[in-house]
Structure 1
């Protein structure tokens, strides 16, 4: 494991009791530590704990990565072939060490849709985790889970900035691991609030449509570890905020 990953793992475990890893893996996925959330309407906060695996502004049908020669685009992320907005996309992979509670990046009204696996079962994501920990560069060319696995697409409209954004939760090998805390459409949500959890290995993608590439600035880089509800992922370049 490289030094950067080792330090990230240490920071995740900082403050936890000295317990066997087996016990941690049985109980750690379900921990929900108290966090002091500093809300700020100039920023989108991270929706999840984990490592950034891709990050950039792309066209809706443009490849974020290619899986065995197949392009994986924003349209694939949100399972909508009619999506036509250029967007900032940040993918966050939640490892076995991370808190699996998901939080709201920015105030708004949340609605969601559930999408079943495109094949009989979800595909395992363990290879991505090993890749993150043991390789210098993240390679996603073998990861069919990106397009095939079960997911929940959460759409949030933020009236304060007249903008919508998406949080896409992707489940691991076991199905039905994505558990929203409130089964309610068009629910008001607030920055930093807990809204859902994903049991075991998982991923959350933040998708924010843009009309101008300069209106948002990503503040993170690939392989950086981020913390849900605390890390500032994106700055909104609006002088009125």
Structure 2
């Protein structure tokens, strides 16, 4: 287990905030022992919460071109056939993973291949489970064509608390299944759009792990 690089600044600011608040309390309320101890406990809890959010577990990835791996830790909240309007403009199977603030927030490539399309969209910060968040919120859209020639679209979506989306891919990049493609701070979701006929391997409500859980499997016939 390591700390993700995206957390360095946030952790440093948290430590600074804790130091300032505790120094102020010790200067003005030195005689109010119960208040100081309460503040110490709350400070410790705040530090642990921020630290765990940026944890970066080491995972062994088993690449398979027939598999689509989960792009994030979280809970499966959507499995439905829909029309993807931005890139494919036709029917796709959408699978959405909701990440709560307690989940690991590393985003991983669901497939290996070439990045055929990438676009960042500024937008709103609706709650991640709002259906309009897919089209109205700040988000990124990435399309990777795997070695079998199958394109997979995945989308990072900011939520009410998630105010920063980070990505590490650009059009033309060669990416590897399970490697990081981005990070979203403080809870949100990732949508995956798959070709009709793809066999979905998860169910609504399933708890999944990025780079580990097989989200779907392509028909190799």
SS in 2 for 1:38: coil
Asked which structure has the greater RCO (Cα within 8 Å, sep 6+), the reply is: 1
For 2:141, the equivalent position in structure 1 comes to: 153
CA distance in 2, matches of 1:217, 1:28: 34
Deviation (angstroms), 1:195: 1.3
Listed as ranges, the matches of 1:142-181 within 5 Å are: 144-158=132-146, 160-173=147-160, 177-181=164-168
RMSD of the TM alignment (CA)? 2.1
The 8 Å contact of residues 162 and 187 in structure 2, kept in 1 or not, is answered as no
Deviation (angstroms), 1:176: 5.2
Normalising by structure 1, what TM-score? 0.67
Once the two structures are superposed, residues 71-118 of structure 1 have per-residue CA deviations (whole angstroms, 9 ceiling, x without a partner) of xxx32xxxx2x743221110000011110001111111123101111x
Count of residues in correspondence between the two structures? 177
Q: Is residue 2:198 matched to residue 1:193?
A: no
Once the two structures are superposed, residues 202-239 of structure 1 have per-residue CA deviations (whole angstroms, 9 ceiling, x without a partner) of 100010133xx3xx210100110110000001011214
SS in 1 for 2:56: coil
Which structure carries more helix by proportion? 2
Deviation (angstroms), 1:144: 4.2
Runs of 4+ in 1 over 6 A off after TM superposition: none
Listed as ranges, the matches of 1:1-241 within 5 Å are: 22-56=46-80, 58-60=81-83, 74-75=84-85, 80=86, 83-110=88-115, 111-117=117-123, 121-125=124-128, 128=129, 144-158=132-146, 160-173=147-160, 177-182=164-169, 184-210=170-196, 213=197, 216-239=198-221
Structure label with greater radius of gyration? 2
Shift of the 87–25 alpha-carbon distance from structure 1 to 2, 3 Å rule, reads same
CA distance in 2, matches of 1:89, 1:25: 31
Any stretches of 5+ residues in structure 2 without a counterpart?
1-43
The 8 Å contact of residues 85 and 209 in structure 1, kept in 2 or not, is answered as no
Shift of the 94–187 alpha-carbon distance from structure 1 to 2, 3 Å rule, reads same
SS in 2 for 1:86: strand
Normalising by structure 2, what TM-score? 0.73
The 8 Å contact of residues 82 and 94 in structure 2, kept in 1 or not, is answered as no
Deviation (angstroms), 1:124: 4.0
